Amino acid sequence: MSGFDKDWLALREPVDSKARNSDLLSRLGGHLLQSRPNPGEGGRALVDIGCGTGSTYRSLMRALPEEITSSLHWSLLDYDPLLLAEAERRIGKANDTLVYQQHDLNDLDGLDLDGTAFVTASALFDLCSEAFCRRFRDHLVKSRCGLYAALNYDGRTHWSIEHPLDQIAVQDFNRHQRTDKGFGPALGPDATAILQQLFSEAGYQVVTGESPWEMRADDARLQRAFLEGFRQPLTEIGSLDPRELDTWLAFRIDAISAPESLCVVGHTDLLALPL
Ligand X SMILES: C[S@@+](CC[C@H](N)C(=O)[O-])C[C@H]1O[C@@H](n2cnc3c(N)ncnc32)[C@H](O)[C@@H]1O
Which residues contribute to the site for ligand X (CB under 6 A)?
2, 4, 9, 16, 50-52, 55-56, 78-80, 83, 104-106, 122-124, 182
Q: Which amino acid is at 73?
A: H
Question: 122 or 129, CB closer to ligand X?
Answer: 122
φ/ψ of residue 55, rounded to 5: -60, -40
Is 4 or 251 the residue whose CB approaches ligand X more closely?
Answer: 4
- Which is nearest to 140 in space by CA: 47, 24, 257? 47
Q: Which is nearer to ligand X, 15 or 45 (CB)?
A: 15
CB of 50 to ligand X, least distance (A): 3
- For ligand X, which is the closer residue by CB, 37 or 182? 182
Query: Is residue 155 a contact partner of residue 187, using CB atoms and an 8 Å limit?
Result: no
Smallest distance, ligand X to C-beta of residue 36, A: 27
Shortest Å, Cβ 99 to ligand X: 15
Listed in order, strand segments (DSSP E) in the chain are 44-49, 72-78, 98-102, 116-122, 146-159, 205-210, 213-215, 263-273
Q: What span, in angstroms and rounded, lies between the C-alpha atoms of 145 and 117? A: 5
DSSP 8-state secondary structure symbol assigned to residue 80: -
Strand (E) or helix (H) holding 234:
helix 220-237
Asked if 105 and 129 touch (Cβ cutoff 8 Å), the reply is no
Map residue 240 onto helix, strand or coil: coil
Check: CB of residue 173 under 8 Å from CB of residue 157: yes
CA distance linking residue 181 with residue 185, whole number of Å? 7
For ligand X, the closer CB: 79 or 248: 79
Considering the complex, what minimum distance in angstroms separates the CB of residue 156 from ligand X?
A: 18
Query: From CA 83, how far away is CA 74, in angstroms rounded?
Result: 16
- Whichever of 83 and 240 has its CB closer to ligand X, that residue is 83
- Do strands 98-102 and 72-78 pair parallel, antiparallel, or not at all (unpaired)? parallel
The Cβ of residue 142 has, within 10 Å, a number of other Cβ atoms equal to 9
Task: Report the residue number, 92 or 203, with the smaller CB distance to ligand X.
Answer: 92
Nearer to ligand X, 10 or 264 (CB): 10
